[in-house]
Structure formats: structure tokens, C-alpha cells
Structure 1
Amino acid sequence: MSTLGTSPTALLSPGAVRSAVLPVVRQRVCALEPTLARICSYHLGFTDEHGDPSGAASGKLTRAGLMTAVAQGAGLAPEDVRTQAAALELLHNSTLIHDDIIDADDLRRGRPAAWKVFGAGLAILAGDALQALAVQMVVDDPGPGRAEISSAFTEALRLVLAGQSRELTVRLGPDAGIAQYERIVEEKTSALLQCALVTPALRAGKPEHVLTALRGAGRHLGLAFQISNDVEDIWGDPAVTGKPVRGDIGRRNPSFPVLAAFPVSERLRELWHADDAADAHLAEMAGLVEECGGRDEAERRSRGHLESALEHLGRAGLSPAATAELTALFDRIVNRTA
């Protein structure tokens, strides 16, 4: 395996992760069919809507950062999983393109979503192209554990698609339990985080108990993140989230705080079923959710899942430096800390 002079114990900064992964992402995307390459480059922040270079944000590369830290904690160099880290970021971004269309979200990272600029049809194809490209990258990579890593990626993609389908067909309402919500989150969100954490361990040939610990960490990290994200959707700052506030409530997409508050408030259930998306209507619903304890319960549950994620991480036997880095990264993911 290549080291290129990088010590496995010298953890990469977020800037170094971006420097290592983004050129691979850009190169692979630019090789797509020109129209699809233009749409994907726009979505990723490389270009503006005219195809000219742009300084827009390309995302936080969270999954690439997780994969790199685990790799170094498992005795690998960052270069050993650079292709897989880039592929996972492409896979993640494919889900963002599709989610924006499904949810009719106009904005992504503070500017018009790809489907608003290029149309839903072409944006769907662009998301599909990123999925195919991501799978091709891991299948074609000749390094150790290729078959197992390819299987992990295709399983993650299968779960994401299942979660997206379930979210549209299983209507989470006043009578739905938290269990259905958690299943959707585990498929849509946790699956890619588990893939990020497990891939380096597969490349390093780690035993099953390490894989199990990392899968558990990814599962709980996804739940902690999504529940925290649900809180942000209702009470967060659009300048931080890059999206308008209360989007989920406006679409009647029940997030964790809403589900937690449903059994307490008949008035909330009445407002939920009313065909009204006016600001005052949404503000009243948000107020009832908080008054009925939905926000407090969501924040408590998110903290609990984060603690569980860290417990599983501790069982993975990674180097102390990598474990400390991942602990901090888990916190940043869930709580958006600096």
C-alpha cells in the first residue's frame, strides 16, 4: 500500500482532506458526458450555472474525513482510501440532488438547487450518473479488499434507495411510532456513514468484531445527526443550514421533534392535517412542538445516540490519535461545533 511519505499517525486536517479528495472528485466528474458533467460540477460548487469557475462551497466532505481518520487509525495511509473517499462523496451528493427534487427544495448550500437551474429531468440523470460513477470507482480500484468494499458500497446504495422509497410510501403521522422513523434514518443517513467507517477496516483486513463496532458507531452517528438536523430544520439559522427554516413542517414531513410531540397535543394534530403553509401556521406548529417537549426529547435522544456512537467507536481498537480525532469529528457532525 502506498504511503507517499505520510505517517499513519499524522492525522489530516479538514483542509488536507479536501486537498486530497476534491481533485479526484473533480477529475472524475469532468469525464462524464458534458451535460451531466456541467450539472454535477455546478451542484458540487466547482462552477456556476454557466459553467464558469465558482467559489461556491463544495460541502464539508464529512464522509471522506471519517474514512480518512479511520484509515489512519487502522494503520493505513490516506492514499490507500482516497479513491473510496471520493466515491463516497459522489454517492452522497447523488442523494442530495435527488432529495432536493423529491422535497422540492429550492436551495442547496445557499444557492439554487441543481434541479431549479437545469430542470428536474436532467438533475435526476445527473444524480444517477454520480451513483454509477461512485460504484465504478470502487469496483475498478485494484487494492486489497476490493470485493468486500464494492459490496459495502452497493449495500449502502441499496439501503439509501430503500429509505428514500420508504420515506415516500410510509406516511409518518400522528399514529406512527419512532421505530419507523429510525428505520428510515438508518437506511437514508446511517448507511453511508457506516460505509465511510467500515471501508478502511475492510481495506486493512480487520476482523469482524472491528467491523461490527464501526457499523454500530455509524448507525448511532446517523441517528444522532438526523435528529439534530431535524431540530435545526425547525429552530435553526438558515445562514448556517443553507435552507429556509421549517421546511419539513411545511411539507408535512414529520421529523423527530414532531413525532415526539404528536401524542401530547391534539391541537398540533389538527394543525398538521390543515392545508396551510402560511408562516403563522408553521410558527404555531413549531411553538406547540416545543411546548409539548418535542424539542427537548429530540435533543436528549440525539445526545444519547452520540454517546452510543462513541461507545462503539471505542470498541474498534483504532489508534488513540484517530479515536480522539473521530470523537471530535462525531461532535462536529452532530452539533456543528467548530
Structure 2
Amino acid sequence: MTDRKILTAFTLLVLLVPVLFVSGCTGELSAEEIAEQMQEKEASIQDYSYTMQITSYIGNQTRESEIQTLQKKPDKTKTVIIKPEEEAGTIVVSDGEFMWTYDPKTNTVMKMEMPDTPVLGELDSAGIIGEFLNKTDVSLLGMEEIDGRPAYLLEANPKEEGEGLLFVDGMKLWVDKETWMPLRYEMYDSSGDLMMELEIRDLEINQRIPDSEFVFEVPEGATVKTLNFDSLIPEEMTLEEARESAGFEILVPEYLPEGYAFNYSTVSNNSLIAPEGQASETVFLRYENEDGDYIFLSETVHENEALEAPIMNSAEEVSINGMEGKYLDLGDMNILSWKIGDIDLSLTTSLEREELLKIAESVRENA
């Protein structure tokens, strides 16, 4: 699961939680009524701050993060990464018009004009919540204290198999009795294994956070890169278009499981935002069947040798046409990575190990 998907899930939960109690956790209200009640509850909160502690469990690996956040309506935000150590000191600040991201290790600032439309798309909050409640059974388990604050403990499970939110098939949420804000999350996969824990500490509401907190001053000597938001979102294209756009020869599998066909591809280059010497170009190929099951094949060429993603540290070593590869079983999602020449390849899908290996072995260098 990517960070962006996780953050999207968190955003939906923050929107949803106040509504669950207004509706008595029965889901009987219409989407329109839910949206009205949500807006009424949210109207009283003008600003808030907290520290979020995140623990993720991927394979045999545990990763801990800590982030400090300030937010002020309607559109001002500030986050500071405390942990992990390699990312500590990274700052992201938005005043609603521009977003600045500062990397202290490279002394680099990325400045980006915020888009006119929400990042999550054009679906309004009523539609998001209505869809979530239609697919989820929510129950109230009782009361517990989180960081000394009384909280309602909720459990949310998909009504139908495969209808979980972004690889999440079960959730527990602790919601502050006073502010109706979530204080803790636990997210589970379809096997009931814990994927991630989040806990919010030092929550403060309506403290009249000054606008000066969201004014970013460029550090002395820092390099500033100005970006366009649209340029960061790769365009969906045909395989022929991707071959014309990419700076390297794209490899394609000769074997696909029955029912799967090419859907679309994207080409992206991170040279505008990557630290010096760490630029790369990536091609994504998406294959899909009639049931909406997918196979993602990513191919990346790095400017210099790239470090292996931490998620693969606990992966199983495998052989692909005599080449070294790594396989990671994440329950609802499996990853297979290997290398052909200068190209780093990765398959991501819910298919079983043997099918991933069969697909990978059919990907060969062009003659």
C-alpha cells in the first residue's frame, strides 16, 4: 500500500467519524442528511494541532513514524516529520495558495502552486461518506481512554468480501467523546492481521493558531525548485504512446493469466524533484480483468544505483530466469521485484506466487 493511499484513507476516516455518532451508527440517514450533519459538527472546529505516531507492519518488518501537524481552516496546513531519523526535519507547509516542502538533508525547497480542484477528486464528501456506509458495517464496541481522553471504540468491516477500503478489510477507531475527532486507528487485512496503528497525541482544538505558523521562510542557501501540480500526475496512455515517450525500451510480458488484458500505461520522470544524482524514469503498465482485478508492472531506470526499498528487506529470495529476485507476501497484495539490465522491475497484484513468477519469467529483453 502506498503512502498516498494510506493518507487518502485517513482523510476519509476524518470526514466519516463525526457522522457515525450523529447517525447512531445505524447508517439509516441518507447521504445528503449525513453531509448536513457532518458540516454542522465540523463548523465548530476552526483549527487543531496534534502529534501522530504511526506503526506499520509489513511482512516481518515494523516501521515507526512520528509527525507533528497543525491545521487551520479553510486551507492552511503544516507538518513536521520527527521520525524516522532519515526523514527527520522534513517540513511541508501550505497557506492554501502554495505548498513548500523542505528537505534539510539536501537543503532543497520545492514550491508548488496548489490545484484549483481537491487532490481527492471531484467527488463531494456526501458521496464519499454515502459510499463508505453502504459498503461497511459499523458497530460501537464501548468506551476506552486514549491519552487520558474518553473515547468511543468503533469497529468497521466491509459488508462484502473484497469491498475493503484501499487494501484495508477491517478497522477499529477510537473517537474523542468531546471533540468527535479520531484519536487512534487500527487497520487490518483480510486475514485479520494488523497492518497499521495510528495514535494521535497532544490534541488541541481551537487554539487560535496564528497565520504566521503557515508562512514558510526559505532557509539560507537553500535551492528552490518551482513545480506545477499537474506535471506531477502522469497521463494515462496507450502502450505505443508510452514507447514513444519513455527514454528506454519498455519490456512487456508474453504471458498473462486468462482474462487479463492491457489497460493503460504511464510514464513519469522525477528529475524535477529528486535530489542531485537520484533522478529516475518509471513506466507503469496496468493489466486488468473483467472483475476489476489488476496487475501492475513497473519498470524504472535510475540515474545512479538505487537503494532497495525498505519494504523488501524481509522478502523471500527467488530465481527468475537465473536472475535474483525478491517476493513479498502481504496477504491481499503480493510484490515481486527483479532486474533486467539497467531496468528495475516490480510486479504488484493479488495473484499467487507461482503466477507472479510465471509472468516475470515471460518478461525478456527485446532482441
Report the TM-score range of the alignment, normalised by the length of the smaller protein: under 0.3
TM-score by length of 1: 0.26
- Structure of larger gyration radius: 2
**Bigger proportion of residues as strand:** 2
TM-score by length of 2: 0.25
- Larger relative contact order (C-alpha < 8 A, sep ≥ 6)? 1
**Bigger proportion of residues as helix:** 1
